[in-house]
Chain A
Amino acid sequence: MSARIAVLDYGMGNLHSVARALDRVGADAYVTADPAAIDHADGLVIPGVGQFGACMRALRAAGLADVARAWIGAGRPIFGVCVGMQVLFAGSEEDPEPGLGVLDGSVRRLPGSVKVPHTGWNTVAWAGRRHPYAAGIPDGTFFYFVHSYAAAPDERTVGVSEHGRVFAAAVADGAVFATQFHPEKSGEAGLQLYANFVGAVAA
Protein backbone atom coordinates (compact mmCIF):
# COMPACT_ATOMS: atom_id res chain seq x y z
CA MET A 1 0.00 0.00 0.00
CA SER A 2 1.34 3.39 -0.87
CA ALA A 3 2.20 5.88 1.85
CA ARG A 4 -0.39 8.55 2.54
CA ILE A 5 1.23 11.97 2.54
CA ALA A 6 -0.70 15.05 3.65
CA VAL A 7 0.43 18.32 2.09
CA LEU A 8 -0.44 21.07 4.53
CA ASP A 9 -2.74 23.60 2.90
CA TYR A 10 -2.53 27.02 4.49
CA GLY A 11 -2.65 29.03 1.28
CA MET A 12 1.10 29.68 1.01
CA GLY A 13 2.69 27.84 -1.82
CA ASN A 14 2.17 25.94 -4.98
CA LEU A 15 0.72 22.95 -3.19
CA HIS A 16 -0.39 20.95 -6.17
CA SER A 17 3.06 20.73 -7.68
CA VAL A 18 4.30 19.31 -4.37
CA ALA A 19 1.46 16.79 -4.26
CA ARG A 20 1.99 15.80 -7.89
CA ALA A 21 5.70 15.16 -7.32
CA LEU A 22 4.87 12.96 -4.32
CA ASP A 23 2.30 11.08 -6.38
CA ARG A 24 4.90 10.52 -9.08
CA VAL A 25 7.14 8.69 -6.64
CA GLY A 26 4.33 6.40 -5.57
CA ALA A 27 2.74 8.22 -2.64
CA ASP A 28 -0.94 8.81 -2.15
CA ALA A 29 -0.61 12.57 -1.62
CA TYR A 30 -3.44 14.93 -0.82
CA VAL A 31 -3.61 18.65 -0.13
CA THR A 32 -5.54 19.35 3.06
CA ALA A 33 -6.13 21.71 5.98
CA ASP A 34 -8.38 19.26 7.82
CA PRO A 35 -6.78 18.02 11.09
CA ALA A 36 -8.57 14.67 10.82
CA ALA A 37 -7.32 14.11 7.27
CA ILE A 38 -3.82 15.14 8.36
CA ASP A 39 -3.93 12.72 11.28
CA HIS A 40 -4.85 9.95 8.86
CA ALA A 41 -1.58 10.45 6.92
CA ASP A 42 1.67 8.54 7.31
CA GLY A 43 3.79 11.58 6.52
CA LEU A 44 3.30 15.33 6.48
CA VAL A 45 4.77 17.89 4.10
CA ILE A 46 4.82 21.59 5.01
CA PRO A 47 5.34 23.61 1.85
CA GLY A 48 5.67 27.37 1.98
CA VAL A 49 6.44 30.33 -0.21
CA GLY A 50 6.47 33.99 0.64
CA GLN A 51 7.04 36.06 3.69
CA PHE A 52 7.91 34.22 6.91
CA GLY A 53 5.49 36.19 9.10
CA ALA A 54 2.66 35.83 6.59
CA CYS A 55 3.23 32.06 6.50
CA MET A 56 3.30 31.76 10.29
CA ARG A 57 0.21 33.91 10.70
CA ALA A 58 -1.61 31.85 8.07
CA LEU A 59 -0.58 28.62 9.84
CA ARG A 60 -1.82 29.95 13.18
CA ALA A 61 -5.04 31.38 11.74
CA ALA A 62 -5.87 28.00 10.23
CA GLY A 63 -5.10 26.24 13.52
CA LEU A 64 -2.37 24.32 11.73
CA ALA A 65 0.57 25.54 13.81
CA ASP A 66 -0.67 23.44 16.73
CA VAL A 67 -1.46 20.52 14.43
CA ALA A 68 2.10 20.60 13.05
CA ARG A 69 3.64 20.94 16.51
CA ALA A 70 1.61 18.03 17.86
CA TRP A 71 2.58 15.95 14.84
CA ILE A 72 6.27 16.67 15.39
CA GLY A 73 5.93 16.17 19.15
CA ALA A 74 4.57 12.69 18.48
CA GLY A 75 7.71 11.90 16.46
CA ARG A 76 5.85 11.44 13.19
CA PRO A 77 7.73 12.06 9.92
CA ILE A 78 7.55 15.57 8.50
CA PHE A 79 9.20 17.19 5.47
CA GLY A 80 9.43 21.00 5.34
CA VAL A 81 10.07 22.79 2.06
CA CYS A 82 11.48 26.33 1.64
CA VAL A 83 9.57 28.61 4.03
CA GLY A 84 8.08 25.34 5.29
CA MET A 85 11.62 24.64 6.52
CA GLN A 86 12.12 28.14 7.90
CA VAL A 87 8.95 28.05 10.03
CA LEU A 88 10.38 25.07 11.93
CA PHE A 89 12.91 27.45 13.49
CA ALA A 90 12.30 29.76 16.45
CA GLY A 91 12.07 32.81 14.23
CA SER A 92 13.32 34.80 11.28
CA GLU A 93 15.02 38.11 10.71
CA GLU A 94 12.25 38.75 8.19
CA ASP A 95 9.44 39.21 10.71
CA PRO A 96 8.97 39.40 14.49
CA GLU A 97 6.30 36.67 14.33
CA PRO A 98 7.67 33.60 16.15
CA GLY A 99 8.19 30.36 14.25
CA LEU A 100 7.10 26.89 15.35
CA GLY A 101 10.27 26.63 17.43
CA VAL A 102 10.87 22.97 16.67
CA LEU A 103 14.46 23.76 15.73
CA ASP A 104 16.65 26.18 17.68
CA GLY A 105 17.97 29.31 16.12
CA SER A 106 16.58 31.68 13.59
CA VAL A 107 16.68 32.29 9.90
CA ARG A 108 18.75 35.20 8.59
CA ARG A 109 18.76 37.20 5.39
CA LEU A 110 21.28 36.28 2.71
CA PRO A 111 24.05 38.87 2.39
CA GLY A 112 23.60 42.01 0.31
CA SER A 113 26.74 41.20 -1.65
CA VAL A 114 24.88 38.70 -3.84
CA LYS A 115 21.64 38.77 -5.80
CA VAL A 116 18.67 38.25 -3.49
CA PRO A 117 16.33 36.43 -3.86
CA HIS A 118 18.57 33.48 -4.55
CA THR A 119 16.72 31.82 -7.41
CA GLY A 120 17.73 28.97 -9.62
CA TRP A 121 19.87 25.89 -9.51
CA ASN A 122 22.63 25.48 -6.97
CA THR A 123 24.69 22.60 -5.67
CA VAL A 124 24.10 20.88 -2.34
CA ALA A 125 26.92 19.18 -0.47
CA TRP A 126 25.71 16.54 1.98
CA ALA A 127 27.09 17.21 5.43
CA GLY A 128 27.89 14.99 8.39
CA ARG A 129 26.53 11.47 8.26
CA ARG A 130 24.64 10.97 5.03
CA HIS A 131 20.92 11.25 5.79
CA PRO A 132 18.89 8.25 4.55
CA TYR A 133 16.68 10.53 2.44
CA ALA A 134 19.81 11.58 0.51
CA ALA A 135 20.57 7.99 -0.47
CA GLY A 136 21.40 7.63 -4.15
CA ILE A 137 21.85 11.37 -4.68
CA PRO A 138 25.47 12.30 -5.39
CA ASP A 139 27.26 15.00 -3.42
CA GLY A 140 27.19 18.28 -5.33
CA THR A 141 23.87 17.60 -7.04
CA PHE A 142 21.98 20.67 -8.26
CA PHE A 143 18.66 21.59 -6.64
CA TYR A 144 16.27 24.47 -7.33
CA PHE A 145 16.13 27.38 -4.85
CA VAL A 146 13.87 30.42 -4.46
CA HIS A 147 14.54 32.25 -1.18
CA SER A 148 16.02 35.32 0.47
CA TYR A 149 16.55 33.96 3.98
CA ALA A 150 18.35 30.88 5.22
CA ALA A 151 19.49 29.14 8.40
CA ALA A 152 23.14 28.98 9.37
CA PRO A 153 24.66 25.49 9.35
CA ASP A 154 24.77 23.71 12.71
CA GLU A 155 24.83 20.17 14.06
CA ARG A 156 21.40 19.39 12.56
CA THR A 157 22.47 20.41 9.08
CA VAL A 158 22.63 17.50 6.66
CA GLY A 159 23.20 19.47 3.47
CA VAL A 160 24.83 22.82 2.76
CA SER A 161 24.80 25.22 -0.12
CA GLU A 162 26.41 28.59 -0.71
CA HIS A 163 25.06 31.92 -1.93
CA GLY A 164 26.97 34.83 -0.43
CA ARG A 165 27.53 32.60 2.57
CA VAL A 166 27.29 28.91 3.40
CA PHE A 167 23.79 28.06 4.60
CA ALA A 168 21.76 25.02 5.64
CA ALA A 169 20.16 23.57 2.50
CA ALA A 170 18.80 20.56 4.38
CA VAL A 171 18.29 19.90 8.08
CA ALA A 172 17.22 16.84 10.03
CA ASP A 173 16.36 16.19 13.64
CA GLY A 174 14.74 12.88 14.47
CA ALA A 175 11.69 12.50 12.25
CA VAL A 176 11.95 16.13 11.14
CA PHE A 177 13.51 16.73 7.74
CA ALA A 178 13.46 19.92 5.71
CA THR A 179 15.05 21.49 2.67
CA GLN A 180 15.54 25.12 1.74
CA PHE A 181 15.32 24.11 -1.93
CA HIS A 182 12.23 22.85 -3.73
CA PRO A 183 12.51 19.10 -4.44
CA GLU A 184 9.37 19.32 -6.61
CA LYS A 185 11.20 21.68 -8.99
CA SER A 186 14.54 19.89 -8.83
CA GLY A 187 14.11 17.24 -11.49
CA GLU A 188 15.20 13.65 -10.90
CA ALA A 189 17.26 14.43 -7.79
CA GLY A 190 14.29 16.10 -6.13
CA LEU A 191 12.05 13.18 -6.98
CA GLN A 192 14.66 10.80 -5.55
CA LEU A 193 14.64 12.77 -2.29
CA TYR A 194 10.84 12.59 -2.10
CA ALA A 195 10.97 8.90 -3.05
CA ASN A 196 13.36 8.20 -0.16
CA PHE A 197 11.06 10.09 2.22
CA VAL A 198 7.96 8.29 0.95
CA GLY A 199 9.76 4.94 1.13
CA ALA A 200 10.90 5.55 4.72
CA VAL A 201 7.42 6.67 5.76
CA ALA A 202 5.80 3.60 4.21
CA ALA A 203 8.26 1.21 5.84
Chain B
Amino acid sequence: MIVIPAIDLRGGRAVRLLRGDPHEETSYDDDPVAVAVRFQEEGARRLHVIDLDAALDAGGDNREVIRQICYSVVLPVQVGGGIRTLEDIAALLELGAGRVILGTTAALDPTFVARAIEEFAERILVAVDVRGGHAMVKGWTEEGPRVEEVFPALNEAGTPRYLVTAIARDGTLDGPDLRLYRKVLSLTDRPVISAGGVRTADDIWALRDLGVEAAVTGKALYEKTLKLSQVIRG
Protein backbone atom coordinates (compact mmCIF):
# COMPACT_ATOMS: atom_id res chain seq x y z
CA MET B 1 0.00 0.00 0.00
CA ILE B 2 1.32 3.37 -0.94
CA VAL B 3 1.01 6.18 1.57
CA ILE B 4 1.61 9.52 -0.10
CA PRO B 5 2.69 12.19 2.39
CA ALA B 6 1.01 15.54 1.83
CA ILE B 7 2.68 18.91 2.00
CA ASP B 8 0.33 21.88 1.79
CA LEU B 9 2.05 25.15 0.99
CA ARG B 10 0.97 28.58 2.09
CA GLY B 11 3.20 31.62 1.93
CA GLY B 12 6.16 29.34 1.36
CA ARG B 13 5.54 27.28 4.52
CA ALA B 14 4.18 23.77 5.12
CA VAL B 15 0.76 24.02 6.80
CA ARG B 16 -2.33 21.87 7.41
CA LEU B 17 -5.87 23.17 7.18
CA LEU B 18 -8.87 21.66 8.97
CA ARG B 19 -11.54 20.60 6.43
CA GLY B 20 -10.06 23.03 3.93
CA ASP B 21 -10.89 26.07 6.03
CA PRO B 22 -8.28 28.77 5.39
CA HIS B 23 -8.87 30.16 8.88
CA GLU B 24 -8.08 26.84 10.57
CA GLU B 25 -4.40 26.57 9.84
CA THR B 26 -1.65 24.76 11.67
CA SER B 27 1.92 25.45 10.64
CA TYR B 28 4.25 22.46 10.94
CA ASP B 29 7.53 23.50 9.52
CA ASP B 30 8.96 26.62 8.02
CA ASP B 31 10.96 24.71 5.46
CA PRO B 32 8.82 22.55 3.17
CA VAL B 33 11.89 21.32 1.30
CA ALA B 34 13.26 19.87 4.54
CA VAL B 35 9.86 18.25 5.16
CA ALA B 36 9.95 16.67 1.70
CA VAL B 37 13.45 15.31 2.20
CA ARG B 38 12.47 13.94 5.62
CA PHE B 39 9.50 12.08 4.12
CA GLN B 40 11.86 10.64 1.51
CA GLU B 41 14.27 9.49 4.20
CA GLU B 42 11.41 7.85 6.08
CA GLY B 43 10.59 5.75 3.03
CA ALA B 44 7.95 7.66 1.06
CA ARG B 45 7.61 6.57 -2.58
CA ARG B 46 5.77 9.65 -3.84
CA LEU B 47 4.86 13.09 -2.50
CA HIS B 48 1.67 15.15 -2.70
CA VAL B 49 2.16 18.91 -2.77
CA ILE B 50 -0.69 21.41 -2.81
CA ASP B 51 -0.28 25.10 -3.45
CA LEU B 52 -2.97 26.53 -1.17
CA ASP B 53 -2.32 30.12 -2.19
CA ALA B 54 -2.95 29.24 -5.82
CA ALA B 55 -5.97 27.09 -4.87
CA LEU B 56 -7.54 29.83 -2.78
CA ASP B 57 -6.85 32.28 -5.57
CA ALA B 58 -5.73 34.84 -3.04
CA GLY B 59 -2.93 36.11 -5.21
CA GLY B 60 0.57 34.68 -5.13
CA ASP B 61 1.70 31.12 -5.44
CA ASN B 62 4.37 28.74 -4.19
CA ARG B 63 5.83 27.65 -7.50
CA GLU B 64 9.39 28.45 -6.50
CA VAL B 65 9.06 26.20 -3.44
CA ILE B 66 7.49 23.47 -5.60
CA ARG B 67 10.42 23.72 -7.97
CA GLN B 68 12.85 23.38 -5.07
CA ILE B 69 10.97 20.36 -3.68
CA CYS B 70 10.97 18.63 -7.07
CA TYR B 71 14.65 19.39 -7.42
CA SER B 72 15.53 18.14 -3.93
CA VAL B 73 13.93 14.69 -3.89
CA VAL B 74 14.24 11.66 -6.12
CA LEU B 75 10.56 10.84 -5.62
CA PRO B 76 7.85 11.70 -8.12
CA VAL B 77 5.82 14.63 -6.84
CA GLN B 78 2.13 15.12 -7.61
CA VAL B 79 1.23 18.77 -7.54
CA GLY B 80 -2.12 20.51 -7.25
CA GLY B 81 -3.74 23.79 -6.38
CA GLY B 82 -5.27 26.36 -8.69
CA ILE B 83 -4.65 24.49 -11.92
CA ARG B 84 -7.17 25.83 -14.42
CA THR B 85 -5.54 25.85 -17.84
CA LEU B 86 -3.41 23.63 -20.05
CA GLU B 87 -0.66 26.24 -19.59
CA ASP B 88 -0.83 25.74 -15.79
CA ILE B 89 -0.38 21.99 -16.30
CA ALA B 90 2.54 22.44 -18.68
CA ALA B 91 4.20 24.94 -16.34
CA LEU B 92 4.00 22.58 -13.34
CA LEU B 93 5.32 19.62 -15.33
CA GLU B 94 8.17 21.85 -16.44
CA LEU B 95 8.89 22.71 -12.79
CA GLY B 96 9.39 18.99 -12.22
CA ALA B 97 5.98 17.68 -11.15
CA GLY B 98 5.44 13.99 -11.87
CA ARG B 99 1.68 14.35 -12.00
CA VAL B 100 -0.56 17.37 -12.01
CA ILE B 101 -3.83 17.39 -10.09
CA LEU B 102 -6.84 18.94 -11.79
CA GLY B 103 -9.00 20.49 -9.09
CA THR B 104 -12.68 19.61 -8.98
CA THR B 105 -13.81 22.89 -10.53
CA ALA B 106 -11.65 22.22 -13.58
CA ALA B 107 -12.51 18.51 -13.49
CA LEU B 108 -16.21 19.22 -13.89
CA ASP B 109 -15.56 20.67 -17.33
CA PRO B 110 -15.40 17.45 -19.40
CA THR B 111 -14.07 19.23 -22.48
CA PHE B 112 -11.16 20.60 -20.50
CA VAL B 113 -10.48 17.23 -18.86
CA ALA B 114 -10.53 15.46 -22.22
CA ARG B 115 -8.11 17.99 -23.72
CA ALA B 116 -5.78 17.78 -20.73
CA ILE B 117 -5.75 13.99 -20.92
CA GLU B 118 -5.19 14.06 -24.66
CA GLU B 119 -2.15 16.21 -24.17
CA PHE B 120 -0.70 14.92 -20.90
CA ALA B 121 -2.17 11.40 -20.53
CA GLU B 122 -1.03 9.60 -17.36
CA ARG B 123 0.46 12.80 -15.95
CA ILE B 124 -3.07 13.94 -15.11
CA LEU B 125 -4.68 13.14 -11.78
CA VAL B 126 -8.31 14.20 -11.53
CA ALA B 127 -9.45 15.38 -8.11
CA VAL B 128 -13.00 14.86 -6.95
CA ASP B 129 -13.62 16.46 -3.57
CA VAL B 130 -16.75 15.13 -1.95
CA ARG B 131 -19.05 16.25 0.83
CA GLY B 132 -22.48 14.78 1.49
CA GLY B 133 -22.40 12.76 -1.72
CA HIS B 134 -21.75 15.81 -3.86
CA ALA B 135 -18.61 17.02 -5.63
CA MET B 136 -17.67 20.34 -4.07
CA VAL B 137 -16.23 23.19 -6.12
CA LYS B 138 -14.88 26.74 -5.67
CA GLY B 139 -12.57 25.97 -2.77
CA TRP B 140 -15.11 23.51 -1.29
CA THR B 141 -17.68 26.29 -0.84
CA GLU B 142 -20.20 25.35 -3.57
CA GLU B 143 -22.07 22.12 -4.06
CA GLY B 144 -21.69 20.52 -7.50
CA PRO B 145 -23.30 17.40 -8.97
CA ARG B 146 -23.68 14.11 -7.14
CA VAL B 147 -20.86 11.58 -7.37
CA GLU B 148 -23.13 9.21 -9.32
CA GLU B 149 -23.13 11.77 -12.14
CA VAL B 150 -19.55 12.93 -11.80
CA PHE B 151 -17.69 9.65 -12.25
CA PRO B 152 -19.39 8.34 -15.40
CA ALA B 153 -18.70 11.68 -17.14
CA LEU B 154 -15.06 11.68 -16.04
CA ASN B 155 -14.58 8.02 -16.97
CA GLU B 156 -15.93 8.91 -20.38
CA ALA B 157 -13.43 11.76 -20.67
CA GLY B 158 -10.64 9.19 -20.23
CA THR B 159 -9.53 10.01 -16.67
CA PRO B 160 -6.49 7.82 -15.98
CA ARG B 161 -6.58 8.11 -12.18
CA TYR B 162 -8.64 9.77 -9.45
CA LEU B 163 -7.84 11.55 -6.22
CA VAL B 164 -10.96 11.46 -4.07
CA THR B 165 -11.02 13.62 -0.95
CA ALA B 166 -13.56 13.17 1.79
CA ILE B 167 -13.81 16.82 2.78
CA ALA B 168 -15.56 16.27 6.10
CA ARG B 169 -12.65 14.06 7.23
CA ASP B 170 -9.81 16.19 5.88
CA GLY B 171 -7.36 17.15 8.59
CA THR B 172 -9.54 15.59 11.28
CA LEU B 173 -7.81 12.24 12.03
CA ASP B 174 -11.37 10.79 12.23
CA GLY B 175 -10.62 7.79 10.00
CA PRO B 176 -11.23 7.55 6.25
CA ASP B 177 -14.75 7.59 4.80
CA LEU B 178 -14.78 3.94 3.75
CA ARG B 179 -18.38 4.14 2.56
CA LEU B 180 -17.44 6.86 0.12
CA TYR B 181 -14.53 4.85 -1.31
CA ARG B 182 -16.64 1.71 -1.64
CA LYS B 183 -19.13 3.79 -3.60
CA VAL B 184 -16.47 5.46 -5.76
CA LEU B 185 -14.83 2.13 -6.59
CA SER B 186 -18.20 0.88 -7.78
CA LEU B 187 -18.41 3.88 -10.12
CA THR B 188 -15.03 3.51 -11.83
CA ASP B 189 -12.45 0.89 -12.76
CA ARG B 190 -9.62 3.43 -12.75
CA PRO B 191 -7.14 3.61 -9.85
CA VAL B 192 -8.39 5.70 -6.94
CA ILE B 193 -6.20 7.54 -4.46
CA SER B 194 -7.91 8.53 -1.22
CA ALA B 195 -7.41 11.60 0.92
CA GLY B 196 -8.84 12.62 4.24
CA GLY B 197 -9.19 11.20 7.72
CA VAL B 198 -6.34 8.71 8.03
CA ARG B 199 -5.17 8.37 11.62
CA THR B 200 -3.50 4.97 12.02
CA ALA B 201 -1.95 2.11 10.07
CA ASP B 202 -5.24 0.21 10.42
CA ASP B 203 -6.94 2.95 8.40
CA ILE B 204 -4.42 2.34 5.64
CA TRP B 205 -5.09 -1.40 5.67
CA ALA B 206 -8.85 -0.79 5.54
CA LEU B 207 -8.40 1.40 2.44
CA ARG B 208 -6.12 -1.19 0.85
CA ASP B 209 -8.67 -3.94 1.48
CA LEU B 210 -11.30 -1.89 -0.34
CA GLY B 211 -9.02 -1.62 -3.38
CA VAL B 212 -7.81 1.97 -3.02
CA GLU B 213 -4.46 2.35 -4.82
CA ALA B 214 -2.82 4.80 -2.43
CA ALA B 215 -3.70 7.10 0.43
CA VAL B 216 -2.67 10.73 0.70
CA THR B 217 -1.87 11.31 4.35
CA GLY B 218 -1.08 14.57 6.03
CA LYS B 219 -1.98 15.25 9.61
CA ALA B 220 -1.45 11.66 10.82
CA LEU B 221 2.20 11.90 9.75
CA TYR B 222 2.70 15.38 11.19
CA GLU B 223 0.97 14.45 14.46
CA LYS B 224 2.78 11.07 14.42
CA THR B 225 -0.33 8.92 14.92
CA LEU B 226 1.02 7.07 11.86
CA LYS B 227 4.63 6.42 10.95
CA LEU B 228 5.66 5.69 7.38
CA SER B 229 7.78 2.79 8.64
CA GLN B 230 4.57 1.05 9.81
CA VAL B 231 3.08 0.98 6.34
CA ILE B 232 5.99 1.03 3.92
CA ARG B 233 8.05 -2.11 3.93
CA GLY B 234 10.61 -1.07 1.32
Please list the residues of chain A having a beta carbon within 8 angstroms of any beta carbon in chain B.
11-17, 20, 49-51, 82, 94, 109, 116-117, 119-120, 144, 146, 148-149, 182, 184-185
Contact = CB atoms under 8 A, between A and B. Distances in A.
A182 B45 contact: no
B76 A13 contact: yes
Given A12-B76, A49-B75, A50-B46, A17 B70 contact: yes
Contacts of B77: 14
B143 interface: no
Interface in B40-67: 40-41, 43, 45-46
B196 interface: no
Contacts of A94: 234
Question: Contact size class for B?
Answer: 20 to 34
Contacts of B99: 11
A14 B76 contact: yes
A50 B74 CA distance: 10
Contacts, number: 63
A119 B41 contact: yes
B98 interface: yes
Interface in B89-109: 93-96, 98-99
Interface string B21-49: 00000000000000000001101011000
A67 to B, nearest CB: 16
Given A11-B76, A14-B96, A51 B41 contact: no
Interface string B173-213: 00000000000000000000000000000000000000000
7 contacts: A14-B76, A14-B77, A15-B76, A20-B96, A49-B74, A146-B40, A148-B234
Contacts of A14: 70, 73-77, 96, 98
Contacts of A182: 74
A17 B99 CA distance: 14
Smallest CB-CB A-B distances: 4 pairs:
A148-B234, A16-B96, A119-B41, A50-B45
A17 B76 contact: no
